[in-house]
Copies of this chain bind each other. A is one copy, B any other.
Amino acid sequence: MAAREYGQYCGITRALELIGERWALLLVRDLLVGPRRYSELAAGLPRIPTNILAARLKELQDAGILRRAPRSRVIVYELTPYGRELEPVVLALGAWGFKAMGDPRDEQIITPDSMTMALRTAFRPLVAADLPATVYATRLGPAELLVRVDGAALAVTRGDGPADLTFAAGPGIRRLISGELAPDRAIATGVVEVLHGRGELLDRFASTFHLAAA
């Protein structure tokens, strides 16, 4: 038996053998947003040593979770269908871990891909289905994301564009998502800065994206 196996005939055990190693599920998190090149993955996980990144990519490939795909002269890594089935796991972990997030510390960064998955985690399709289609352009730290909500469908893409509401926020956005901070208070205190559009649309945003706090 391989040394790192748990020696149990059990689905949870098997899952942890495949994606339980350090950094593995964070790579899956970023690849759930879309295919990524090696350097993009490294940029999204600045603290991963490059040898570990290479090792994980190889292991996840051997496990059938991702594949290397040539895209016109460059290699991108993309999840296989089996790898994409990890999305419920990642979202469940994100919702659980959200409650244990304190206030951000200086050295903690926010990446576009992690923010995208956080928005997917917080998205409430049943609530959104009853609201008008809305486009939000957000600047969350270094992440510029265009968030399109149309009925129960959510699409988050990088970059800018025309939007019903454009706003910038720091990590304090967490308190808006958790409901600890009301939308109007968030604007009044400067946690959220409305750059364009009607500020009342932030109410809709907070209704659409919500996660229970601790």
What 1/0 mask marks residues of chain A from 117 to 149 whose CB sits below 8 Å from any chain B CB? 110010000000000000000000000000000
A74, CB-defined interface residue at 8 Å: no
Contact A93 B100 (CB under 8 A): no
Interface centre among A12, A15, A105 (most CB of B within 10 A): A12
Taken together as a complex, chains A and B put the C-alpha atoms of A58 and B1 apart, in Å, by: 29
Whole-angstrom distance from the CB of A47 to the nearest CB of chain B? 5
A89 at the interface (CB under 8 A from B): yes
Q: A1-B105, A89-B89 are in contact. List 5 more A-B contacts (CB 8 A).
A: A7-B108, A11-B94, A11-B96, A12-B93, A15-B96
Which residues in B have their C-beta under 8 angstroms from that of A115?
10
Alpha-carbon separation in the docked complex, A74 to B155 (Å): 53
Decide: B108 and A15 in contact? CB cutoff 8 A.
no
A: number of interface residues (CB 8 Å): 54
In the assembled complex, A86 has its CB within 8 A of some CB on chain B: yes
Number of copies: 2
Expressed in whole angstroms, the minimum distance between the Cβ of A116 and any Cβ of chain B is 11
Q: A26: which B residues are within 8 A, CB to CB?
A: 6, 12-13, 16
Q: Which of B20, B45, B93, B107 contacts A15 (CB 8 A)?
A: B93
Q: Contact at A10–B47, with CB atoms within 8 Å?
A: no
On chain B, the residues within 8 Å of A98 by CB distance are: 11, 14
Instruction: Give every chain B residue within 8 A of A208 (Cβ-Cβ).
Output: none
B109 A82 Cβ-Cβ under 8 A = no
Is A207 an interface residue, CB under 8 A from the partner? no
